[in-house]
């Protein structure tokens, strides 16, 4: 795979051609790179290009959210006529299409990582183009994004960390140049991930506009766009959440809890990222904020988001790509997944009864298109095109899992339940663990996080009653997802 820095319709973006081996990456046009980073706008154009890559089908626009990862989490019943979906849900990782898609995930992730490194290199060597705050913010963002992508590659292709943290996992690419990178042990990769996260945190603390201004998801006249729209960038609070996520995956509950508390006890977080308002969600049939955007710490812009619903979840239009919750019994969703808590905002906002006479049960509508505002027919609500990557709710669940005192764990869980219109719970440690699994399943439908949760916990199999998915048989996970062909030769 070779990386090219090209000019297309006067817009400079990082792009990569597809092939399986990310190590064969080299900027083609050094002069273009020099010209790109000669201006302030060039740095931000490069950063925008990197962020735009997150929305590609091989990354979070499809594979690493609602499609591949949620299929691996046994969320869906798939069409018997879709050979790829059947192979994936039967864990046939040697299937040609499955292998191709895994290779494309790998290639897209490491191309994006390389682009981060190219931008980091130029940030380090540039003088007089960006002011000191801008350099620190952009450097922090790129380090955090590099860590974020490596963590997801570790979670996908690496071993079950809790069982074998010293097993070979993935490379960690810190170079903007072509180099033969070895496959590193998982714990070594995790050390490098956490190092980048800590440096990013230090750079963003006190410099990121999100701390004082919040998401800033709008633009007024004469305002500089570069440091706004912080939900679409790896902002300071998203970095804290990533730190908690990484520590928890590493099995370090002490530091995971410390990171979670650092975020959840910050008054600015409460003000800047408030819970979804049920009055504008449940009573709003035209423009409901089904992704609960006010709680999203970091996500990306996907103008074609409504196509996800039409192509995969609409029982009338999706055809053989149709994805439906595993059990076709009309009562399973409320009884199993939502424990008969019909007042849950997620149940009311994300699901509806199927209309196709050939389909039983519910269909998933989180990404269904919403109307444009009546005040401006040419505009769209920001949350109509937002795809979440890091949610504040995850941090509450991390805190609940990591608290050494059971009562404190339930307190964090119940704070989040209150934000979903639900009553407080109590119980023993086993009840808390089971309930947290269920909360992940409810919360992250269509977002890819549940598979990673099960892999982190080394869940072997799921029964209908404890999975929350319905179904009459036990389903078993296979976490040994192979690296793309040729990558293991780079040891």
pLDDT at 255: 98
Query: What does the chain come to in residues?
Result: 491
pLDDT at 7: 25
**Mean local confidence (pLDDT), 435-464:** 92
Where does 126-266 have alpha helices with state H? Answer: 132-157, 186-204, 210-213, 236-249, 253-264
More confident residue, 121 or 31: 121
Q: Do the Cβ atoms of 387 and 65 come closer than 8 Å?
A: yes
- Rounded distance, CA 260 to CA 244, Å? 6
pLDDT in tens, 135-167: 999 999 999 999 999 999 999 999 999 999 999
> Residue 194 above 60 pLDDT?
yes
**Mean local confidence (pLDDT), 80-85:** 95
> Residue 361 above 80 pLDDT?
yes
For residue 11, name the pLDDT band (cuts at 50, 70, 90): very low
- Rounded distance, CA 213 to CA 86, Å? 47
Among 3.30.750.24, 1.25.40.390, 3.40.50.720, 3.30.450.40, name the CATH number for the domain at 3-306+382-490. 1.25.40.390
Percent of the chain with pLDDT over 90: 74
| Full-model pTM | 0.92
- What is the torsion angle, in degrees rounded to the nearest 10, for the CA atoms of residue 291, residue 295, residue 296 and residue 302? 30
Phi and psi angles of residue 168, each rounded to the nearest 5 degrees, phi first: -60, 140
Phi and psi angles of residue 252, each rounded to the nearest 5 degrees, phi first: -95, 85
Nearest CA among 226, 215, 301 for reference residue 46: 226
- Rounded distance, CA 409 to CA 401, Å? 6
Nearest CA among 150, 143, 149, 133 for reference residue 210: 133
Nearest CA among 217, 198, 205, 261 for reference residue 404: 261
Average confidence score pLDDT of the chain = 88
For residue 223, name the pLDDT band (cuts at 50, 70, 90): low
pLDDT in tens, 265-304: 999 999 999 999 998 899 888 999 999 999 999 999 999 9
> Residue 439 above 70 pLDDT?
yes
Percent of the chain with pLDDT over 70: 86
């Amino acid at each position: 795979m070779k990386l090219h820095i090209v000019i297309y319709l006067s817009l400079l973006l990082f792009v990569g051609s597809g092939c399986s081996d990310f190590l064969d990456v080299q900027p083609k046009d050094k002069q273009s790179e020099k010209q790109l980073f000669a201006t302030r706008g060039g740095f931000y154009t490069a950063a925008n290009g990197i962020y735009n890559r997150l929305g590609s089908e091989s990354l979070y626009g499809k594979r690493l959210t609602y499609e591949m990862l949620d299929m691996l989490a046994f969320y869906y019943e798939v069409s018997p006529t879709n050979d790829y979906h059947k192979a994936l849900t039967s864990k046939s990782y040697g299937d040609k299409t499955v292998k191709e898609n895994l290779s494309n995930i790998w290639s897209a992730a490491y191309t994006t990582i390389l682009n981060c490194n190219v931008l980091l290199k130029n940030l380090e060597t540039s003088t007089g183009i960006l002011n000191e705050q801008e350099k620190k913010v952009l450097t922090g963002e790129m380090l955090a994004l590099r860590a974020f992508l490596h963590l997801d590659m570790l979670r996908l292709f690496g071993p079950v960390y809790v069982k074998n943290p010293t097993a070979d996992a993935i490379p960690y690419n810190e170079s903007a140049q072509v180099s033969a990178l070895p496959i590193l042990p998982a714990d070594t990769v995790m050390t490098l991930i956490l190092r980048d996260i800590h440096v990013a945190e230090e750079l963003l603390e006190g410099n990121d506009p999100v701390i004082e201004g919040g998401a800033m998801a709008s633009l007024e006249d004469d305002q500089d766009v570069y440091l706004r729209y912080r939900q679409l960038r790896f902002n300071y609070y998203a970095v804290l959440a990533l730190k908690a996520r990484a520590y928890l995956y590493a099995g370090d509950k002490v530091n995971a809890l410390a990171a979670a508390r650092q975020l959840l006890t910050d008054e600015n977080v409460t003000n800047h990222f408030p819970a979804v308002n049920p009055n504008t969600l449940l009573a709003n049939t035209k423009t409901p904020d089904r992704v609960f955007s006010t709680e999203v710490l970091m996500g990306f812009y996907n103008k074609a988001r409504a196509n996800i619903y039409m192509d995969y979840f609409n029982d009338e239009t999706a055809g053989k790509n149709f994805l439906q919750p595993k059990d076709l019994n009309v009562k399973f969703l409320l009884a199993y997944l939502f424990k008969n808590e019909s007042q849950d905002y997620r149940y009311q906002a994300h699901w509806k009864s199927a209309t196709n006479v050939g389909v039983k049960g519910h269909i998933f509508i989180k990404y269904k298109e919403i109307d444009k505002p009546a005040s401006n027919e040419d505009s769209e609500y920001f949350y109509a095109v937002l795809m979440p990557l890091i949610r504040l709710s995850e941090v509450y669940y991390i805190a609940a899992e990591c608290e050494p005192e059971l009562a404190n764990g339930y307190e964090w869980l119940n704070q989040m339940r209150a934000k979903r219109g639900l009553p407080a719970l109590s119980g023993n440690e086993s009840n808390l663990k089971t309930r947290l699994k269920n909360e992940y399943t409810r919360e992250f439908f269509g977002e890819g996080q549940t598979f990673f949760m099960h892999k982190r916990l080394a869940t072997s199999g799921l029964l209908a009653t404890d999975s929350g998915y319905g179904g009459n048989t036990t389903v078993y996970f296979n976490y040994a997802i192979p690296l793309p062909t040729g990558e293991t030769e780079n040891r």
